[in-house]
Structure 1
């Protein structure tokens, strides 16, 4: 098959959606398919262009995949309106590339990753021109997440326009997928017919991320000497609920045996540094390269996964899969009935979103109970193998692509 992938985030970015879009494209190429990707110049999670990348179109061949990186507007402070402009600029820059690919290369499948939903019409139009099937994959519900985090107001003109655009987009794809069963259910509730839905989970790299038997060598490299480490690694953004972490560290300041390690970049970094002033136990580190992912995650005695209230069914943090694969328990802030809550059940402890006291109590309970830590960590590893194995997930996706491409043409366009 010829497969065109359209997604704003891609390698050389090393966290979040980029990891899965790149992994998907390179796996399909390794299975013998011709794969081409349209992505943005790398900017995430620092929200500035990566060093060495100019603001323009740039082609590269990476992992057996042809990749065209497109320019885009990258705001230093990504507010609601600026995020819309950011995503719209990528869609505009990607449009001529996608149309050219549709006419010249004629893909069999166009696979669109959201974020960025604003680029969905670009992928849909390219598919229609090429006579290809078109698939929309939802990594998170951007519009509702923007409401939940306060970036957009639901009743504002922009908020209403965003909801209308989402309804329009969801009705025009041959397949619409998301990363958890509750998120697929949410798509069904939004009017996507069941026969067009597919659950495409993010996956753990269970071969590369393995439980460490002894202390991680990264502790010494980063200058961490305390017996215990609790770790957050990933995007430092407002939808993560990270403002709770300095308060949790403050409540555990009496523990001289504990380091809070925060590894990441993003728009909340400066605010978190300000909130952490005077807290000796909390330390900030840059993102670590992918070849250190296993020793980074294995550095933790406990992983931290905060989420804001109302967001746990709008997204399933991509970092969760490899947290589980590392064989360490997770303390997350989520309701038990949410997608995140269901995945953590039996592999860690859930606490209410925003409750720093409850999170501190959960962390301390695990640090003081090595047998419970070991039991929950072993369960986390098994869950990663059973539910999140990348080879099984990607083999299933390839099969679904093959069936969809071989099926009858989609009946025009759903009525608005």
Structure 2
């Protein structure tokens, strides 16, 4: 079977980003022909050269479309349009696929997948990584009401035309159902994590990292991810500064880059308990997570963000590090149901600082929560298992069409 994959942002484990689709594409390519239509956005951002850029057996067609987090709304929209135009053209040039797998975000990537599927009369599967256009609208990126209505209409049309829909969290699935889409064509596939990479976070690797970073004897709180506008970074910085006077042995590590990087750098300059770490390749982040006693998964208090499926949530639990979440959605329910983390409300630095102070005073409770988290992760977060589930959906989309 020939599978055409439309994904604007391809990454591999050498990149400072989740490499979800690298694992999934590798699995599919073992038994099917896979053609990937993407861009070279992340290729120049590789931090190491330990992995092939695409998995064996994957044919790649990639456009030169620049994109980075610091771009304004207009420049981002141009990048989305450029990829969509490229993907539409290449999708029509490609030898006819049996099925198309369109991955959003952005929504324009899914639109291109849907158009090629319609023109070539093949089914397509829609993977929903984030809720677009709800997310950019909630962040104020699309203030025009007419544009908002058109985007929501486009979204509903894409859900309707897709043979099957793969949201990355239970809350995303509920959102799609609420739009009138039958639950029979929706399968939740969690973001998940890569356990072969997590296995490299050995005790020896953690100790070596502690020594290298001057963290011997330090207790670490970790935020690893984008320093974006949606990530509630000012609250984390404020919580770290509130804790510093009474917790001289605690170091907050902020690992990543993005919009709020200057804010963190300024805080690190005035507070010895805050340290900023450059982004790390995917295959190295697990050692950083295991180094920490607790990690933070934070977002602004916006309902659309409650549905998120953040990689750092899975990666932390995979190595036995419990999490504090600020989403009032499925991740809150998950950590409470499985007792592998805690919830503090977004935007409340005092409550977060108080929660962490209490947790750090209970190392046994932290350890037990981490052990429960890892046990749950092994059962539910393995990307190899998720890849097999995705393959079944894609194959079924073809067999149910014929």
After TM superposition, the score normalised by the length of structure 1 is 0.87
- What are the residue-to-residue correspondences of 1:230-309 with 2, within 5 Å? 230-254=221-245, 255-309=247-301
Give the Cα separation in 2 of the matches to 1:138 and 1:15.
Answer: 21
Residues 264 and 287, structure 1, Cα contact 8 Å, conserved in 2: yes
CA distance in 2, matches of 1:76, 1:301: 29
Q: Is the 8 A contact 2:15 2:42 kept in 1?
A: no
Cα contact 2:232–2:347 (8 A) shared by 1: yes
Q: Indicate how the Cα distance of structure 1 residues 76 and 314 shifts in structure 2: closer, same or farther if over 3 A, else same.
A: closer
1:137-148 mapped onto 2 (5 Å cutoff):
137-148=127-138
Residue 400 of structure 1 and its aligned partner are, at CA, apart by 2.2
Equivalent pair of 1:72/1:86 in contact (CA under 8 Å) = yes
**Equivalent position of 1:8 in the other structure:** 8
Alignment of 1:87 with 2:80, yes or no, is yes
Of residues 91, 96, 99, the one that matches 1:98 is 91
Distance 1:244 1:110 in 2: 41
Is 1:126 aligned with 2:116? yes
Partner of 2:166: 177
Select the residue among 212, 215, 224 that pairs with 1:224: 215
Q: How far off is 1:365 after superposition?
A: 1.5
Match of 1:412 in 2: none
Q: Kindly provide the CA deviation profile for residues 321-346 of structure 1, in whole angstroms up to 9, marking residues without a partner as x.
A: 111101011111122xx112122221
Quote how far apart the aligned CAs of 1:76 are: 6.5
* Alpha-carbon distance between aligned partners in 1 of 2:378 and 2:307, rounded to the nearest angstrom: 24
C-alpha separation in 1, matches of 2:53 and 2:210: 35
TM-score of the aligned structures, taking structure 2 as reference length? 0.90
In 2, distance between residues paired with 1:381 and 1:90?
A: 38
Cα deviation for residue 356 of structure 1 reads 0.6
Deviates more, 1:175-184 or 1:81-90: 81-90
CA contact (8 A) 2:36 2:61 kept: yes
Is the 1:3–1:33 Cα contact (8 Å) retained in structure 2?
Answer: yes
2:387 alignment partner, one of 383, 394, 401: 394
> Deviation per CA, 1:331-367, whole angstroms, max 9, x where unpaired?
11122xx112122221111001111111111211221
Residue 50 in 1 paired to residue 50 in 2?
no
Q: Once the 2 structures are TM-superposed, how far is the Cα of residue 276 of structure 1 from its aligned partner?
A: 4.5
Tell me which protein shows more helix as a share of its residues.
2
1:208-244, Cα deviation, whole Å (9 max, x unpaired): 3147547442222233344201111122211122221
Whole-Å separation in 2 of the counterparts to 1:61 and 1:272 = 34
Name the SS of the counterpart of 1:68 in structure 2.
strand
Where 1:231 maps in the other structure, the secondary structure is strand
* Cα distance in 1, alignment partners of residues 92 and 400 from structure 2: 24
User: What do residues 68-96 of structure 1 show as CA deviations (whole Å, max 9, x unaligned)?
Assistant: 22122436633334332221121122221
Structure 2 runs not aligned, ≥5 long: none
Give 1:358-377 correspondences, 5 Å limit: 358-377=351-370
Q: Distance in 1 between matches of 2:216 and 2:239?
A: 20
| SS of aligned partner of 1:122 | helix
Alignment partners' CA distance in 2, 1:318 and 1:252 = 26
Matched with 1:56 is: none
CA displacement 1:161-190 (0-9 Å, x = unmatched): 322222222221111110122210100112
In the alignment, the residues of structure 2 paired with residue 118 and residue 388 of structure 1 have an alpha-carbon distance, to the nearest angstrom, of 28
Task: Provide the rounded CA distance (Å) in 2 between the counterparts of 1:28 and 1:9.
Answer: 18
Q: Which runs of 5+ in 1 are unaligned?
A: 53-58, 410-416
Q: Deviations over 1:241-272 (max 9, x none)?
A: 22212101111111110111111122332233
Q: How much has 1:396 moved relative to structure 2?
A: 2.0
Q: For residues 110 and 76 of structure 1, what CA distance do their matches in structure 2 show?
A: 28
Aligned residues: 391
Structure 1 residues 60 and 391: CA distance shift in structure 2, 3 A: closer
Q: CA deviation at 1:2?
A: 1.1
